[in-house]
Amino acid sequence: MKKTVIFIFAMFMAVAAFAQGGKELYNKYLGKDGVSSVYISPTMFEMIKQIPDIEIEGGGSFNLGELIKTFDGMYILDIENAEFVSEVEKSVEAMVEKGRYKLLMEAVDGGSRVHIYIVQEGDTVRDFLMLASENGGGSDGGSTAVISISAKMAMSELQKLLASAMQ
């Protein structure tokens, strides 16, 4: 009985940790005008892991397949609606202020801004969130892409991704 309680408690904790901001955002903007969205569930990631020969592109020492195996959920929002663009940015800022997310990288170059946040548990990255915005000129209201990944990714794996990006 005790074991069961501990088990359930542990599961609850795992679920609570998993319920991160990406989903909140996703649910909020799903199906809205000018928003295209992608959700890949943990079940689907399980199935991806079973694909026998994940072909790895990009070459080098970096193995994308290994990294993907640590993922268990992914939300993508592609927003091309000026009103939502600023709204999403504000929501992300609010989430960061609540202290769950830690800024990993910020790059502003002309009209494009990239912010990358992570949620870390010890040496493990549990959640990865990228917010990439582009200011459009004139009538084009700009666009923003949010990619949120829940994972159990070792910090070193993320560093490898960063290293491969530098090449």
Partner 1 sequence: MEREDFKRVWLPLSGNFYRAAYLVLGSEQEAKDILQDLYVKLWNIRSSLENIDSPLAYGTRIIRNMALDKVRSASYRTRRVGVVAMEELPLSDTPFQGSAEHGLIEKEMVLKLKQTIVGMQEPQRSVVQMRLFKDMDYAEIARKTGLSQINVRVIVSRGKKMIARALSEY
Partner 2 sequence: MKEKDINEIEIPNGLEAEMSDFIDSMDAAERVMAEERRRKGAVRWSYVAGAAATAALLLTFLFRQPAMPEDTFTDPHEAYACVEQALASISEKMGSGVQQARRAGDKIDAGTAKIKELYNRKTN
> Which residues in this chain contact partner 1 in the complex, by CB under 8 A?
36-38, 76, 78
82 interface partner picked from partner 1, partner 2, none, CB below 5 to 8 A per type: none
Alpha-carbon separation of residue 30 from 24, 26, 45, 94, 123 (angstroms): 10, 6, 21, 19, 32
Cβ proximity to partner 2: between 53 and 139 the closer is 53
Rounded Cα–Cα distance for residues 85 and 141 (Å): 8
Rounded Cα–Cα distance for residues 144 and 131 (Å): 7
78 interface partner picked from partner 2, partner 1, none, CB below 5 to 8 A per type: partner 1
86 interface partner picked from partner 1, partner 2, none, CB below 5 to 8 A per type: none
Alpha-carbon separation of residue 37 from 23, 30, 74 (angstroms): 11, 6, 11
Lookup: tokens for 86: 């600023």
Binding site for partner 2 (CB under 8 A): 7-8, 11-12, 14-16, 18-19, 23-24, 26-27, 30, 37-41, 43-48, 50-51, 54, 57-58, 64, 67-68, 71, 74-76, 105-107, 109, 112, 114, 116, 130, 132, 145, 147, 161-162, 164-166
106 touches 117 (CB < 8 A): no
Q: How far is the CB of 51 from partner 2 (least distance, A)?
A: 6
